[in-house]
Each structure stands twice: as structure tokens, then as C-alpha cells.
Structure 1
Amino acid sequence: MVKYIFYLRDVFLMNRKRVIFVLMLSIATLILSIIQPAVIQQLMDQGILKQNIQKLGLLFGLLILVAFIQCILKYIMAIIHIKIKKEYSYYIKIKIFNHISNLSGSFFSDKKTGELVKVLENDIYTIENAGIDLIIDVIFNVITSIWAILILCSINFQLLFVVLFIELIIIITQQYFIKHMYKKVEELRCVSGRSMNFTEEFLSNILNLILVKADKIFMRKFREIEKINITKTVEYMRFSEGV
């Protein structure tokens, strides 16, 4: 949980302007989503039912314009989202490299270069494709919630308690997913490391294995490890996709 808070802090501090800008775009998209059904209703009532060609053309053009603006806003948010992910993954890599460079020589003597590279790439991939998405979503949800609470305070105080209760449920759910996400990542790392080490061991000793006819035993063990790897990967993807 502490590490997750540091992730939140780092992502927000590194991208304050972008986060605020995307929040504004999100609010604009939300407003357009509210306007769109109203335009469709007017299109049906004033244009089609009353057979008013002028209003039909005007409202239809307005509907297309709203949809076009929504697409543009979503495209801009997607681009900013990708930039945040890539820049933060670069930031994490630099931190990891600095940490590795300060480790003792005994650490590297016990580890193979391929294994270190595999673990590093797996961790960065996990952070970039799941962790950062979750972090950014939490930041946007928190800021949006604060904005909504301020609006509700000025509109309806009783409705505010309902929203706070819903937000509390959302926070508890997010904490549950965060906790289990870390667990699934650690399990996946462990199984992926075993699979990689097993493959390296086979390639290093392939001649001896063939001579003693132990290659079939290796294949059986390798299939068992890969089945576990597939299962853990599917479990991880289910959590990362919010299934």
C-alpha cells in the first residue's frame, strides 16, 4: 500500500499539468455525453415527428458535431495517457538501473544476465500495461470525486451522503484489486523465472540430456511449469482487465 501511494505521488507530480488537462477533457466529454441524448430526443420530436426539415438538418448536424468533438477529445486523452505511461516507465527504468549499479558484486555473481534482463523487462511491462493504468485511473477518480462533491455540496446536501457512500465502496473495491494485483504479479514473476531458468538449464545441458535420454523427463517438467505459467498469466490478465 505504501509503494502504491508513492506511485500515485510520482505519477501526479510528474504529470500535474497533464492530469489536470485530461480531467478538464473528461468533464467536457461527460457534458457532451449528457447533451447527446438530449439532441437525439429533439431530433426525434422536432425533426422527424413534426417533419421539420430545417430543424432535422440542424439537429442532425449538431449531433454529428457532438460525436466528432467527443472522438477528438478521446483521441487527445489517449495520446496523453500513452505519454504518461511511457515517460513513467522510463523513470522507473532509470531508478532500477541506479539501484542495480549500487549493488554488491556478489549479487551479480549469483544471477545470470539473461535472468536479470527478463525480470527487469517483465516488471516494466507489468507497470506500464497494468500498474500505471490503475494509478492514473485512481488519480482521475479522486480528482473527479472531489469535483463532484464540491458541486453536490452546493446543490443537495442529502445527495452528497449517497455519493460519499458510493465513493467509499469504490475505494474499498480498488484497494482489494490493488492488493491482489501485487500478489498476482509476484506469482507471475516467480513462475516466469522458473520457466526461463528451466529453458536455460536445458540449453546449457542439452547434449548430456540427450545422451542419458533425459530429454523426455525435461519436456514433461517443462509442460507442467508452462501450464502453471499460463494459468497465472490468465489470472493476472483477469485482474488487470478488471474481470
Structure 2
Amino acid sequence: MEKSNISKRKSPIKRFIKFVVNHNKMSIFTAMIMVIFITSIDLVLPMMTKNMVDKGITGKNLELLLKIIVAYSVMSVLARVLNLALGYIYATMRNRVAVKFRLKVLDHLSKLSGKFYTENKTGNLMSIVQSDIDIIENIDAELVFSIIKNSITAIISLYLMFRLQSVLFVVVVFIQILLVTTQRYFTKNIHSNVSMFRDEYGDTSNVVQEYVYNIMNVIISKSKRFFISQFIKGQRGLINKDIKIDVLMSGNMCVANIFNLMMSMAIYGYGGYMIINGDFTLGSLIAFQNYAGMLIGPCISIVNANNRIQQAKVSIERVYSILDEEPVIDEDQNMLEGLRADNIKEISVENVKFGYENDESEKKYILNNVSMKFKRGDISAIVGESGCGKSTLSKLMYRLWDVDDGSIKIDERDIRNIKLMSLRKCISVVSQEIVIFDSTIRNNISLGKKIPDDDILRVCSLAGLDDFISSLEAGLDTEIGEKGIKISGGQKQRISIARAMLCDSPIIIFDEATSALDNVSQDIIMDSIKKNLEDRIVIVIAHRLSTIKDVDKIFVMSNGKIAESGNHEELISKKGIYYKLYRNE
């Protein structure tokens, strides 16, 4: 992303507030009206107390006293009922914002390129999506309105205190100026320490995530000690920073309370002195102290709010660092809207060069001038030694990355000129890295869509899952656990294959999709593919050559280039790279 674009962006806090307002306009309007009513009542009550004491009690006017007591009680009850309703509005807004904001981040993550995910740790991203957004909830409507309410209350209280007693007013203002001065020191230090804490927290989260997600492999590989040592190392730094943040926040509150205690003592001392001299009434002192309390309370609340804002500000900046990440995969308004799935005839890879970016100054190309064609109705295979760029090709076709040079075309149209969503709808990729959800077999195949059982069972049969499903008491509604822990690796791959077949995409890429199956099962799957996907473009990226002997064309890759191509018999007769790979299998 260009620097000029970054500089034009508003601050993350302002952008977040705008996001909150845009999704809660009616609720904010209602809350604002209620806040005005509650604040008005709060400001009137001390003057009613003054009249109750000076005119009712001291003036021995029982009728007036009773009227003030009734009015005071009604207004107090009304304020509390409004506060209760306001709490409900705040809770609704808070949850709405949290859900919508998290969805906004998750949606944006799905639009970023593979480059972004190679440069960012999963644990840090999880920390941002989960804990940072949880912290951002602290800057909710309640906090914002409380700052507004407290600020209005403090300003009007100051004015009313000036009207009641100007000398005491000057003392109170002087003490508040000292309080504000100390706040600047604490604010700066809290923000910088929270920022460092959140960054290190993301790194520690990555260690925990790797440990939990791979717990069985951790046990088998006897690597628990390594993970624990990494965790302890990270926690030491976190604990020290967390303690420092707590000390700063506690110190902030302690200083605020000391200044407010000084203010109360000054009011009672000087106010008591004036009452003794007959220059001030008891009711006026009580009213002044109530207004001072309405100044002290809001000031302490604002100090608390500032602490929460400094924590949330760091989290907001971290979240917007993701939202400001521009997708490397560019799209513009001139792109073709879509592809007609039933018309796709061919994919061509033309002189493609590509290399993953790293910290080195010179990029190393994984693919170097690679050209190949895949036709509808044919099953093509790509083979070669590990690291030769086979799987990279499927990622380029799906546009997780864009080619550095050359092009990939569908029916003579460069895929960079086709809307990304439309392109991806036409391609299904079955990878060896299988995504399995903690749900039923049905949901893992249909991905939550309402699809008739007959259609699901049909693709299950094609993927060789029918016997397994019929043996289960709950059938398609069998829960398979987190990451499919209740089923075998082969069954996971069959589910992934069935899912791809159900999508009915005109282009299907099998990337080591049957690596967890035995030879007999692989042959059955390949036979099913040939019989049932004959009107599609099928690309099989294979490590086991025995599974692709009967495909229409085989491309052999070596050192990022196409070394040879042809069908199985042709390549065997050449006695080249394919021949050697096949003999060594």
C-alpha cells in the first residue's frame, strides 16, 4: 500500500467510532436523549437538597419539605429506571458492534493474498481477531456516553459551584489542573507499555496455538519440553510488562484519589469556616459538596475511561493494521464479471515465472517459464520431486498469488482480468491439507448448505464413503469431532473429495488429495473421477505415480520447469525423469 494512501487515513480511533455510529444510529439517538434526562436530574438534585435543608428544615416549613422530598424521590427513581433501560441499550450495542467488527475483520482476512499469511504468524492473527476485539469492546457506547455525560456534568457542576462560592471554586479548579497534568504522564506510559505487551502476547499465543493444535504430535515427538520452555520464556516478559501496566494504572488512580481527597478536605475546611462566620449556609455547603462529588466522580470515571481507552487504543491500532492491509491480488472495475461454467474449454499456463518473496535481495524462482494446457474432458497430471513447484501452480490458478511474469488464461482470458469471486467459484481444490470442521459429516460435505440427501450420498459414493456412512448409526449426521479426530486420515480425504465433487465446479484440482489412501482405494477414486468428471477440466497433482498411469496427459516438472510431457507409455519409452521416478517408486 502506498504511503500517500496511509497518510490520508483517519486515526484508528476515529474510524472505529464512525463504525460504531454507522451501525447504531437509532440506538445512539435514543441513548443520547436518555443521557440528557439523567444528567439533568442529577444536576437538579443537589439544589433540591439545598432547599430541603435551608428552606424546609432550617426554615421549619414542613409543607415545602414534604413537597421537596416527594419530588426528590420521584426524580431519583426515574433516573434509576432510565439508567436500567440505558444499560440494556448499551449491552445491545456492545454485542452488535463486537459481532459486526469481528465479521468485518474475518471477511477482510479472506481477501488477503498468500503473501500476507507467509509473513504473519497464525497465533498473532488469532490474538488480534479474538482478544484484541474483546478488549475493543471496552470502548463501547457505555464508555463513550459516560465520558460525554461526565464531561457535561463536570462543566455544569463547575459553573454551579462558582455561583455558590467563588473562592472554593478557585481551589477546586486549581486541584483539577494538577490532576490533569499528572494524567498526561500516566497516559503516555500506559499506552507505550500496553503496545509492547500486546505485541508480545501475540507471539506467546502463537506458541500456545501450535502446542494445542498439534498436541498429539507433540506427545508422539516428545517435544513438550521445547514448547513449555518457549512458553515460559514468553511469559516471563509478559508478566513483567503486565505488572508494570498494573502499577501505572493503580498509580494513576491513587494520584487521582489523593487529589480528590485534598479537594474534599478543602471544601469542608473552608466551607465550615464560612458557616461558623455566618457567610455560608449548611444547605449551600451540602449542595457545593454534592456538585464537587459530581465533579470528583466524573473525573475518576474519566481517569478509569482513559486507562481503558489506552488499552483499547493499542488493540484498535492492531486490528486496523489488518484492515489497512491491501490485498496484493488487485481487482478493478474493468474486470469481467464472471465466467460461464458450462462454456469453459481450456486453461493455459503460458511462460509463467514465479517466486515467493523473502528477505533476500534476489528472488529465487520456483517456476521458470512454465507452459502447459489443460483441456475440458481430459484428466491431466503434474508430477515431480518435492519442491519442484507442483502445488504452487494450483495456488496461482486460484490466485492466492499472482504470477511474476507470463500468464494463466481460461479460454484465452487472463485470470487477472476476471473477478476473483467468479474465478474461484469455477475452481475446486482438494488439498492434502484438509479442512475438517467440528460438525457432522453432512455439514462437512455440504458446508452448511441445504442440499438433498440423495445428492450428498451420490458424491459420497463417488468418493468411496458410502460403506463407511452406512455403517454409522447416525449416518450423515454423525459428529466427527474437532479436526475430524473421530475418523481416519483416509476418511477425511474422502470427505474433502466429496465436498469438491458436490460443488460441481468445471475445474477441479486434486493436490495430493489421496495421499492418505492405500493403493487400492486410490485406484477406485481415480476410476470414479474418470467416469464421473469427464465433462470437466481435472488436474491431478500426484506424488504416487501409480495413481495417474491412465490419465490423458502427464507433465513432469524438474527445477521449476516442464522437463517432459506425454501419457504414461510415451514417458516410459523416453526413459527420462518420469521413467526414473516410476522405477524408484
TM-score range, shorter chain: 0.5 to 0.7
**Is the Cα–Cα contact under 8 Å of residues 181 and 236 in structure 1 kept in the other structure?**
yes
- Separation in 1, partners of 2:237, 2:95: 32
Say which is worse superposed, 45-54 or 80-89, in terms of deviation: 45-54
| Counterparts of residues 121-200 of structure 1 (less than 5 Å) | 121-130=130-139, 140=148, 186-199=195-208
* Cα distance change, pair 5–182 in 1 and its aligned pair in 2 (3 A): farther
| Counterparts of residues 41-80 of structure 1 (less than 5 Å) | 41-80=50-89
**Is the Cα–Cα contact under 8 Å of residues 21 and 28 in structure 2 kept in the other structure?**
yes
- Separation in 1, partners of 2:115, 2:139: 33
Alignment pair present for 1:228 and 2:240:
yes
- Separation in 2, partners of 1:9, 1:176: 28
How big is the shift at 1:6?
A: 2.0
How big is the shift at 1:125?
A: 0.9
Listed as ranges, the gaps of 5+ residues in structure 1 are: 149-168
Say which is worse superposed, 45-54 or 9-18, in terms of deviation: 45-54
| Alignment-mate amino acid for residue 7 of structure 1 | F
Other-structure match for 2:45: 36
Alignment pair present for 1:8 and 2:17:
yes
How big is the shift at 1:124?
A: 0.9
* Cα distance change, pair 93–176 in 1 and its aligned pair in 2 (3 A): farther
- Separation in 1, partners of 2:132, 2:100: 13
How big is the shift at 1:218?
A: 5.4
- Separation in 2, partners of 1:116, 1:226: 18
Say which is worse superposed, 75-84 or 104-113, in terms of deviation: 104-113
- Separation in 1, partners of 2:89, 2:100: 16
**Is the Cα–Cα contact under 8 Å of residues 8 and 135 in structure 1 kept in the other structure?**
no
**Is the Cα–Cα contact under 8 Å of residues 7 and 135 in structure 1 kept in the other structure?**
no
How big is the shift at 1:111?
A: 6.2
- Separation in 2, partners of 1:20, 1:120: 29
* Cα distance change, pair 45–182 in 1 and its aligned pair in 2 (3 A): closer
How big is the shift at 1:92?
A: 0.9
Other-structure match for 1:20: 29
- Separation in 1, partners of 2:129, 2:99: 12
TM-score, normalised via structure 1 length? 0.65
| Alignment-mate amino acid for residue 46 of structure 1 | K
Output one character per residue of 1:204-233: Cα deviation in whole Å (capped at 9) or x when no partner: 6573465xxx79965762552332352365
- Separation in 2, partners of 1:200, 1:20: 42
**Is the Cα–Cα contact under 8 Å of residues 115 and 193 in structure 1 kept in the other structure?**
yes
- Separation in 1, partners of 2:141, 2:59: 51
SS at match of 1:130: coil
SS at match of 1:221: helix
- Higher share of residues assigned strand: 2
| Alignment-mate amino acid for residue 70 of structure 1 | A
- Separation in 2, partners of 1:208, 1:127: 36
Other-structure match for 2:306: 242
SS at match of 2:306: coil
**Residue correspondences, number:** 214
Other-structure match for 1:94: 103
- Higher share of residues assigned helix: 1
Output one character per residue of 1:76-117: Cα deviation in whole Å (capped at 9) or x when no partner: 222222222221111111111111111234555676766543
Larger Rg: 2
TM-score, normalised via structure 2 length? 0.31
* Cα distance change, pair 178–16 in 1 and its aligned pair in 2 (3 A): farther
How big is the shift at 1:53?
A: 3.4
- Separation in 1, partners of 2:231, 2:19: 44
CA RMSD, aligned part only?
Answer: 4.2
- Separation in 2, partners of 1:242, 1:3: 16
**Is the Cα–Cα contact under 8 Å of residues 122 and 189 in structure 1 kept in the other structure?**
no
- Separation in 1, partners of 2:110, 2:228: 41
* Cα distance change, pair 97–219 in 1 and its aligned pair in 2 (3 A): closer
SS at match of 2:112: coil
**Is the Cα–Cα contact under 8 Å of residues 191 and 228 in structure 1 kept in the other structure?**
no
How big is the shift at 1:118?
A: 3.2
